[in-house]
Each structure stands twice: as structure tokens, then as C-alpha cells.
Amino acid sequence: MQYPTLDELPDILTIHEVADFMRISPAVAYDMARRYRATKGRDGLPVFMAGARMMRVSKIELRKFVAGELGRGDQAAS
């Protein structure tokens, strides 16, 4: 099975698309997104709200997250 690269993903992703890309369950991805919102961006999956209930992830922010540059609390790269 061939997996898409980060460059092949759309610019704005759903939580399910991020979960598929990261090979984690959607439940884990939603938990990470909720943690990001609860910690005001210090920890978790970087999301923004698209409406009242729809969380989305920017590919730019996902790239930083995967590289360890944000959303990892005290473990973030400096």
C-alpha cells in the first residue's frame, strides 16, 4: 500500500485525514486536537475551528507538528 506524502495532502485537512496520514485512530487524533485547544496551543495536534464544531488542520502546521516544532509541550524543538 502506498501512503500519500505530506506534499500530496490538501492544504486544509480534516481530523480523519490527519489520522489516516499519521496512521493513528481518529479518536486519538481528536484527543490530541482537544488537548491543543485546552492548553492554548502548548500541547497536542494544532487545529483551528471551521465553524462552531468543525476542527481542521493546516498542512503548514501539520508539517511543523510532525517535525517536532510545535504542539509537543516541553519537548518542542527550539
How many angstroms separate the Cα of 44 from the Cα of each of 1, 2, 34, 62, 70?
Answer: 28, 27, 7, 11, 8
Q: Is the pTM above the cut of 0.85?
A: no
Set of cell numbers at residue 37: 485547544
Burial 4-34 (b: 16+ CB within 10 A, else e): eeeeebeeebbbebbbbbeeeeeeebbebbe
pLDDT in tens, 11-50: 999 999 999 999 999 999 999 999 999 999 999 999 999 9
Q: How many helices (H) and strands (E) does the chain have?
A: 3, 3
Span 1-12, mean pLDDT? Answer: 85
